[in-house]
Structure 1
Amino acid sequence: MDVLSEAFAWLNDPLNWTGRQGVLALTRTHLEVSAVAVALALLVALPTGLWLGHRGRGATVGVVVANTTRALPTLALLTLLAATGWFGSTATALACAVFAVPPILANAVTGVGGVDPDARDAARGLGMSGVRVLWSVEVPLAVPLIAAGIRTGTVQVLATVPLAALVGGTSLGTLVVSGFATQRYGKALAGGILVAGLCLLVEGLLALAERAVTPAGLRHRARGAGADAPSRGQHPRPVALGAARGSNETAHSP
């Protein structure tokens, strides 16, 4: 039996889905650890990103510093935490939170910092304070980018949490690690398929949520901009020039 057939046979066995080490229990733990990691990343990255984007100063430095965390291998960070006494799900949540900060922070800074200055000036002209401008004008206009950053960070965390099995934690990665340890490669492949499927499912759900929280005006404007944009390699017809030329000929005709 080849590895792929063995993986599907393992997934079709109901006994592998129940119990403390079954797929359902491991999926629940996987989601819980991921939720904690994303919550920690949001707690740090979102307020910082909104503040930097609103100030307009220091945003580049903040994003560069956050992006340097991407150079830290998650496995090395997990090993370091384990060496200092942090094992299991706690170490995984902390390491994955560090990994999720850059996309959330970068998108929050870019979204708020990229708001049309005319919108800010109009809000200040109405007497709004800086805090009210941020929450009433800048954040609503930056929602699409902020939501996209959260979605990216969440999916990255879901794909990284399986490393918890290497430091004594439990997740769907437990199936992969135990499969390799016992040379049951079909089980290891089944674990990988489950992780990929979970990531795709959450990606789709968050995409729907991102669309739901985006103000209707921004959705319509984006749709209209896409429809009005000329195709690659084509040039817009000079309608205004032709109309002006026709009106001139009409005006000069006897």
Structure 2
Amino acid sequence: MSATLGIIDLGQTPDPGFREELARAAPGTHILSEALLQDFTDAQVIALDDPEGVFPIHFPLPGGGRVSIPLAHFLPRAQAAVDRLVVAGADVVVITCAGDFSSVRCSVPLVLPGRLSAAVVAAVLPGAAVAAVMPTAGQVAPSVTKWTALGLQPQVRWRVPAGEDPSAERGWRQLAQEFVALQTAVTVLDCMGFDHRDAAVLRALTDRPVIVARELAVQVCASLLRGGGIDAPSALGQLSLA
């Protein structure tokens, strides 16, 4: 019997790209989906737009345009979605956002991409100079706090993912030059909107390793699911590794 993964997306619709990557990494996985704004109209979503809020989550609207909604709007909805997925039979749950959802409780493994990537870097490169890229300016300061708390030396910048702006490659080239000059040891694309296109540019231009939160989340989910899911006490049911 295949394992079941509960996927929580923040927007109005599921992210097909994440599901395609997961299907390649863990074929046969049964998927349960929740989209936290699935019952919202475009107008209702736009009304929540607040780029100056605390840790604004940035994503495109299905009808065109982009919005930035503060993380706090999603936390209670995320908890409710986790509870529904667990009741529905999810063996593992993932929130497809690298924001701080550590307050969300779950009785099965809960994969939190932002904490996962940070914990991996802190474990393998303790004290290193880390280049972290976020999708909005409003996420830069919280990101600096996160990496500094782990004993790392962060250089945090922001860029729009290539999937949302095909002309963004020029900006990536400038950013790569800056990171090379700063002698950072690794670059972390710390948003689920970044993918192989963004990573490829940075790898080619910096000749340094690039960790993509999205890729790491897929691999961790796949590893858990290949075992058919695991029973996790409530104290350990959150795979944040930090």
TM (normalized to structure 1)?
Answer: 0.27
Q: Going by fraction, where is helix more abundant, 1 or 2?
A: 1
Larger Rg: 1
TM (normalized to structure 2)?
Answer: 0.28
Q: Going by fraction, where is strand more abundant, 1 or 2?
A: 2
